[in-house]
Amino acid sequence: MGLGCGGLFLLSSIGAGVAFYMAKKATDDAFAAVSAAAAQGSPPSADGATDSSGAPANGSCAKAADCCRKIIVKSNAGAQAEAGCLAMKQLTEATCEQPLQTYRQSAKLLGVSCD
Tell me if the pTM is above 0.75.
no
Q: Is the pLDDT of residue 21 over 50?
A: yes
Q: Is the pLDDT of residue 46 over 70?
A: no
Count of other CB atoms within 10 angstroms of residue 77: 17
DSSP 65: H
Phi first, then psi, for residue 50 (nearest 5°) are: -130, 155
Task: Write out the DSSP string of 35-50.
Answer: HHHHHHSPPP-SSS-B
Between 106 and 3, the more confident residue is 106
**Residues 77, 98: Cα–Cα separation, whole Å:** 21
Would you say how long the chain is, in residues? 115
Question: Tell me: the pLDDT tens digits for 65-111?
Answer: 888 888 888 888 777 888 888 888 888 888 888 888 888 888 888 88
Q: Is the pLDDT of residue 52 over 70?
A: no
**Residues 86, 97: Cα–Cα separation, whole Å:** 15
Flag the least confident range among 10-19, 45-54, 55-64: 45-54
Percent of the chain with pLDDT over 90: 0
